[in-house]
Structure 1
Amino acid sequence: MQNIYADFHIHIGRTVSGKAVKITGSNSLTLSSILTESSERKGLDMIGIIDSHVPEVIQEIENRISNGQGYELEKGGIRFDSLTLILGTEIEIYDQNCHGPIHVLVYLPNLAKMKHFSEWLRIRMKNINLSSQRIYEEAIIVQEKTKELGGLFIPAHIFTPFKSVYGKGVVQSISEVFDATRIDAVELGLSANTMMADQIEELHAYPFLTNSDAHSTPKIAREYQHMLLQSPSFTDWDKAIRGVEGCKIIANYGLNPVLGKYHETICSDCNSIVIGTHCMKCGSKHVIKGVSNRIKELSTSSCSPARPPYIHHVPLEFIPGIGPKTLDRLLDYFGTEMNILHRAEKDELASVVGYKLAHLIVLSRQGNLTFKEGGGGTYGKVIG
């Protein structure tokens, strides 16, 4: 069995020819830069590229395989040196009952099935070359197609105020939109943790995933999971989700929810925290409901099932005093961010960046940092 660190929600910003895929993604967020950042700097073992349905992305992956830079695994996924890439796509669903827009993630085991799915999507969306596009099809039909192809179906960032199953405020139960029996797991998103999500009893049936939703290379692995797998492959990831044959999710690493952009309800006009339906500071009724408030509305349970621990991870870039040059010094010495965050001793860290920063990194590991809360699209901040 192998200890595996994985982030399964990474966007492609631009293709190798420079065409936009994720419009809001960084121009430098290419397949090449993702592979390099994920393996050499972050120290991940598996990643999910969720724009793998785009024909030019498929072509680039096939070209790399033809050039001997990677190969398809028998158990699913594509191996590039020490990193396994899982093929995925993010789709926007908007059903006839006005449930939506809702983002979902579909993962498939190999290129042949992703190419088939891409062609299936092409006649159901306006632009197959862009990320997170609306599909003109019912959610249950998408689930059926996913299962036909041996794929995994996962609702994305399920609480964020925009484009998630619970976030808009219309859906009270996940079964209003989806076939609950064809959901393999749910992705929590940056403003919720396991303890918050388990206040909703219907979610007790599903494993939780914590992924970055990276729109730039530095954001890769700001949330991730630690798993125990026989091998870093699609099949064994599926087994870990189901908790069979010794494969399992050991821990979810995610932001402390107060750091998330949508944790608190915020006035969109003056950015003040709002309690109620309008801003007491400026009087505006233009508010963005925070994840914490939305979960309280949906809460149906005071108990939680047995789950892997949720560890409040603070990305190194969030820690005060760790700028690009300091991070480069740490990486030069320790190799990868996973080594810095999980394996380096405090004295070793102090020898590179001094006692103060080493102490903050250790406090982060222990979940003992203090924060200023985020909301309304603005991240929270680490105070110390």
Structure 2
Amino acid sequence: MLPVNADLHIHSPYSMAVSRFMQPEQLLAGCVTKGIQVLGTGDALHPVWRKTWEPFLQNDAGIVVVPTGEVEDERRVHHLILAEDFSQFAELQALMEGTCKSFATTGRPHIYLSGEKIARHAHSVGALIGPAHAFTPWTSMYAYCTGVADCYGSEPIDFLELGLSADSSYGAAIPELNGIPFLTNSDAHSPHPDKLGREFNRLDVRDATVKGVLDAIRQGHVVMNAGFFPEEGKYNRTACVRCFTQYPLEEAVRHGWRCPADGGVIKKGVSDRAKELSGGSAPQPRPPYVHILPLGQIIQTMEGVSSPNTKRSKAIYAEFIGRFGNEINVLIDAPVAEIRAVHPKVADAISALRNGTITLHPGGGGKYGTFSLG
């Protein structure tokens, strides 16, 4: 078996608020720098984007390119679709023609069908499907549905994407998810290394092909998930959307979901939602989830500068890539002693991340969480 790092959910310039630099050349170069061997195309229901990718399906970088796309259903729930070939997305587009305003106007189309019907169409063409960023409080399965059956009816799901708001622990105790592989992807709107691959999966594949990648997901050969601390998310804790005061769930219920301080709406946090869904069940074993932060962000913090794009930060980043080959190697695999030879403070931060000794200040109500390293 061959371990590969895969990021299977990104977007194209045909989606809203996406960088115009999200082009195949830049994305493939970004994968090499990041350490991603498998990349989803994103937005594969868009006919022009499919044509844009065709010359790059076989590429000098050796990146396995997987046709992928995200859709929004009639309840505004988002779904991630993975296929072996662009022709399957063309067939899927034909099956769903007339159910959205136009597949040519947006990379992530709003389909006026239920999740069950979309999943049935996806399976009919041989594609895989599962809920995208399932725990976020907006446009997700667990935001708008009581569970898998409520969202997909009798149609099975092939995986569940955790999203930036959750790690494996949030789903491990939910009984209906037992046996369903968890995916972690970047949902990147920019090819910069602080976005592309900021969350990724390590898969064991029999061969480095699109079929090999999809078979690994079908067979549950996800050997590691990597991504942010959920506490960094804007809606991790139950909190007021106006003043960001955080509340225990029972207190929020007692206040009728209105902040007593300013009358703002109290938004249920992802952490509390996951506990509700577990029903008190014991967590089931899952592959390891490794919490990471983008290397540029670590350098920025350790250097005390305003941005990872300062001249000094970029020079340090380039030194790390030159020494270790790619960013994921630095964050997860390289010995701390070797990292220390390049930058002692960054080595201390990565050691703290690996040991789980950072201090987290959870976000809530729309305000990002913060952390301190060391």
- 1:317 is the counterpart of 2:296: yes
State the partner residue of 1:292: 271
1:25-44 Cα shifts (integer Å, max 9, x gaps): 22322232222111x21111
State the partner residue of 1:43: 35
Instruction: Output the amino acid matched with 2:211.
Output: T
State the partner residue of 1:172: 146
* 1:204/1:287 CA distance change after superposition, 3 Å: same
Counterpart of 1:238 (choices 197, 204, 214) is 214
- 1:352 is the counterpart of 2:370: no
Deviation at 1:176, TM superposition (A): 1.2
State the partner residue of 1:75: none
State the partner residue of 2:20: 27
1:300-337 Cα shifts (integer Å, max 9, x gaps): 24223332112222222342226332323322332211
Q: Distance in 1 between matches of 2:200 and 2:127?
A: 20
**Kept in 1: contact 2:203–2:223 (CA 8 A):** yes
State the partner residue of 1:269: 242
Q: Distance in 1 between matches of 2:87 and 2:109?
A: 21
Deviation at 1:263, TM superposition (A): 0.7
Greater shift, 323-332 or 284-293, is seen at: 323-332
Q: How many residues of Structure 1 are paired with residues of Structure 2 in the alignment?
A: 352
State the partner residue of 1:307: 286
State the partner residue of 1:111: 86
Q: Distance in 2 between matches of 1:32 and 1:123?
A: 33
Structure 2 length-normalised TM: 0.88
- 1:224 is the counterpart of 2:200: yes
Instruction: Output the amino acid matched with 1:172.
Output: T
Deviation at 1:5, TM superposition (A): 0.6
**Kept in 2: contact 1:6–1:225 (CA 8 A):** yes
State the partner residue of 1:56: 48
State the partner residue of 1:202: 176
Instruction: Output the amino acid matched with 2:202.
Output: H
Deviation at 1:111, TM superposition (A): 1.9
Alignment of 1:179-194 (within 5 A): 179=153, 181-194=155-168
State the partner residue of 1:327: 317
Q: Distance in 2 between matches of 1:50 and 1:70?
A: 13
Instruction: Output the amino acid matched with 1:50.
Output: G
Tell me the secondary structure at the aligned position of residue 339 of structure 1: helix
Counterpart of 1:259 (choices 198, 222, 232) is 232
Instruction: Output the amino acid matched with 2:229.
Output: N
Tell me the secondary structure at the aligned position of residue 219 of structure 1: coil
Counterpart of 2:116 (choices 137, 140, 165) is 140
- 1:84 is the counterpart of 2:76: no
* 1:102/1:80 CA distance change after superposition, 3 Å: farther
Tell me the secondary structure at the aligned position of residue 101 of structure 1: coil
1:264-302 Cα shifts (integer Å, max 9, x gaps): 12322122223412324x332323321012122322242
Q: Distance in 1 between matches of 2:302 and 2:345?
A: 9
1:97-122 Cα shifts (integer Å, max 9, x gaps): xxx21000111111222222233344
For structure 2, the 5+ residue unaligned runs are: none
* 1:180/1:45 CA distance change after superposition, 3 Å: farther
Deviation at 1:343, TM superposition (A): 2.9
State the partner residue of 2:5: 5
Q: Distance in 2 between matches of 1:126 and 1:44?
A: 34
Structure 1 length-normalised TM: 0.85
Deviation at 1:135, TM superposition (A): 0.4
**Kept in 1: contact 2:71–2:78 (CA 8 A):** yes
Counterpart of 1:363 (choices 352, 363, 367) is 352
For structure 1, the 5+ residue unaligned runs are: 15-20, 72-78, 95-99
Q: Distance in 2 between matches of 1:211 and 1:316?
A: 17
Instruction: Output the amino acid matched with 1:279.
Output: C
**Kept in 2: contact 1:55–1:118 (CA 8 A):** no
Q: Distance in 1 between matches of 2:259 and 2:207?
A: 52
